[in-house]
Amino acid sequence: MNKKNNKDDQLTEWKKKFEAETKTSRADNFIINTDEDIGIKPLYIEEDIKDLNFVDVGSLPGHDPYTRGPKASMYVNRPWTIRQYAGFSTAEESNNFYRKNLEAGQKGLSVAFDLPTHRGYDSDDEIVMGDVGKAGVAIDSVEDMKILFDGIPLDQMSVSMTMNGAVLPILASFIVAGEEQGVAVKDLSGTIQNDILKEFMVRNTYIYPPDPSMRIVADIIEYTSREMPKFNSISISGYHMQEAGADNVLELAYTLADGIEYVRAALSKGLDIDDFAPRLSFFFAIGTDFFMEIAKLRAARTLWYKIMKDFGAKNEKSLTLRTHCQTSGVSLTEKDPYNNIVRTSYEALSAVLGGTQSLHTNSFDEAIALPTEFSARIARNTQLILQNETGVSNTVDPLAGSYFIEKITDEVASKAWEIIQEVEELGGMTKAVNAGIPKLKIEESATKKQAKIDSGDRVVVGVNKFQNPKEPKIDVLVIDNEKVREDQIKKINLLKGSRDNKKLEKSLNELTEDAKNGNNLLYSAVKAIKNRATIGEVSKALENVFGRHYATSVGVSGVYGKYFEGNEEFMHVTKKIQDFEKLYGRRPRVLVVKMGQDGHDRGAKIVATSFADIGFDIDMGPLFQSPKDVAKDAVENDVHAIGVSTLAAGHKTLVPELMSSLKELDPENKIIVFVGGIIPEQDYDFLYEKNISAIFGPGSNIIESAEKVIDLISDKNNQ
């Protein structure tokens, strides 16, 4: 019997055994569909990897199309960089945290800035009083930046900065801090995220409209190409897309489409592709779908090679996609949070098997609050254990040749390429973003994911199955927002009292003129920062020309409700809402809001969309509202309830201010307020004392939450 016939016989025998064991009649139809609409078969064989569209199974690491890795030796020569993302409170506090982590084995710094800094506001601005130092470190001037890196030699340490909105003054402050530390600009190494397109899609920490924002991106690529040969001018980020609900194909497609747009922006400056492309880097999220995440990273390198080849790149470094990865934040659960250590561990392993160049592992308590020193140590040691105890660094791309891995790598690449071509037909990513198409597709994906969890189709251990009857108590990090803000204001006042205001005014005027006439803005931003301009003053000088961007909120509809057609619990809540409408002549009306500078609106959008499908009359408030604005909108629109989404630890300042404003405008106390998001359980009593009616933590079931809200509204109206 020849070899082929033997394999055919084995396959026939396997099908018989499979069908007997699973009690199904057709093994060929036993398919599990992923979020990406890729059908996963129970068995993959050699035939599956013949005639692939993008993947060359015989390719080697360090050779095109780089599916198996950008380097021939990968981790055998040097393991991935442990680059933990951190920053909170003041520059002094963050500097202390960084030093401890570096002493404990961390190899690179990754800076998290607070929301006012992201949005180009100084800490003394009244509009940001509830956000200072909460979700990152407050940086108001180069003096803060110098403190942040005190004792950390910037000619030896690679620094990654997640910054997009206020990217000009922050990068300028880093450059000046380096110079005043004695480090020439050419010797600074690291990465600035500088990825504004994804801000308009999902994260929302933008300042200026899309077109001038893209100009700033190009200016930074141009400046770094000329002045900073060791520095990566952009980190093209899919991470926040997945956090906002994108599946792996959407994340990959839109990230690479963003990359194409940035390449074109740089080429418009007259740069040669090989002058800047070697320093383009990427940033992906790594979620819980273990093999799909591995396939995504392998597909990303494969497609980027094709894209750069089409642009005419010749330098090998231009053709290779290099990426930083971070384990998923949205996969972390408030319920039974020690499970998050396990989730993060296998997400980290997935990133490593996919071939990442650097990695951040999330702390297990980040669904509750900012990480403590205890939880951050576990997160960091997760990577140290992977590097030193598991043997994953002993061979390059150990999963290569797997029928399953190679096939789904090709399927992910093929589906992503289709979406990239759709974007190209629209005229590129800037036009697609302006049309709101990526945002809507990501919101639709997020809503589908939530529906699967709420229906039980997707198991989340400790949340909708295998619940812990006795939830553990977790110590959380508490930031004294008022104290941080007071300290920052003192430093701002000291700075303003000691600088040369004539020099400052001249440099800010030059910056504004450069914004008008098209000169590279980073050169003039550096001058202004040297003259001790604040982050807010530089941002304002540009805002005078570009204006400030305000997005229009548009949501999907029908996606959540469609998933629950015929579901008894869903119909039970819908019936309660219909009964309310019959009794009072209108549907219960809910205003769903974000307050302060937190632009992460996945939770708010999911609540708004699903509540609308259940039957509520929903108003979606604009981003970046003050508590007073929310209270005014609620009273003017005669809502029954306000739903506040909070992810950036502002609940202890912004929510009390909302309740105080409501008391003035709604003395009869007709409007109930409920809060959802990342809120430590130890803060629940504080919020209830402020007359909050309900609190819903991460992972709360939407239908159960909706029933609680309609019951509260009904009780209030019956009083």
3-state class (DSSP) for residue 594 = strand
Helices 210-227 and 248-267 pack at an angle, to 10 degrees, of 70
For this structure, is 85 an active site residue? yes
Task: Round to whole Å and give the CA distance between 531 and 176.
Answer: 10
Q: Which of 296, 576, 594, 651 is catalytic?
A: 594
Beta pairing, strands 32-33 & 39-40 = antiparallel
Q: Which of 44, 85, 403, 523 is catalytic?
A: 85
Q: Which is nearest to 676 in space by CA: 702, 707, 657, 658? A: 702
Asked if residues 229 and 572 have their Cβ atoms less than 8 Å apart, the reply is no
3-state class (DSSP) for residue 40 = strand
Angle 257-202-642 from CA coordinates, rounded to 5°: 160
Which pair of tokens denotes residue 440?
């809507």
What residue has token string 């019956």?
Answer: 718
Task: Round to whole Å and give the CA distance between 97 and 102.
Answer: 9
Over its C-alpha atoms, the chain yields an Rg (Å, rounded) of: 26
Residues 6+ away with beta carbon under 8 Å from 549: 200, 206, 207, 208, 209, 210, 213
Q: What type of residue sits at position 480?
A: D
3-state helix, strand, coil in the chain (%, to 5): 55, 10, 35
Task: Round to whole Å and give the CA distance between 352 and 346.
Answer: 10
Residues 6+ away with beta carbon under 8 Å from 350: 286, 290, 291, 293, 294
Q: Which is nearest to 675 in space by CA: 591, 576, 609? A: 591
Q: Which is nearest to 86 in space by CA: 95, 75, 77? A: 95
For this structure, is 240 an active site residue? yes
Q: How far is CA 620 from CA 274, 368, 377, 629, in A?
A: 45, 25, 39, 13
3-state class (DSSP) for residue 637 = coil
Q: Which of 491, 530, 600, 640 is catalytic?
A: 600
Contacts by 430-435, CB closer than 8 A, 24 or more apart: 430/197, 430/210, 430/211, 430/214, 430/261, 432/257, 433/197, 433/200, 433/201, 433/210, 434/210
CB-CB neighbours of 670 under 10 Å: 16
Q: Which of 206, 239, 254, 563 is catalytic?
A: 239
Q: How far is CA 651 from CA 37, 202, 385, 675, 699, in A?
A: 38, 21, 36, 9, 18
3-state class (DSSP) for residue 443 = helix
For this structure, is 66 an active site residue? no
Asked if residues 257 and 213 have their Cβ atoms less than 8 Å apart, the reply is no
In 254-404, at which residue ranges do the beta strands (DSSP E only) sit?
Answer: 280-286, 323-327, 358-360
Q: Which helix (H) or strand (E) holds 207?
A: none
Task: Round to whole Å and give the CA distance between 105 and 508.
Answer: 41
3-state class (DSSP) for residue 10 = helix
Residues in the chain: 719
Q: Which of 118, 134, 198, 240 is catalytic?
A: 240
User: Which class for 566: exposed (0-12), middle (13-18), buried (19 or more C-beta within 10 A)?
Assistant: exposed
Q: Which is nearest to 611 in space by CA: 641, 579, 631? A: 641
Task: Round to whole Å and give the CA distance between 348 and 389.
Answer: 14
User: Could you list the active site residues?
Assistant: 85, 239-240, 594, 598, 600
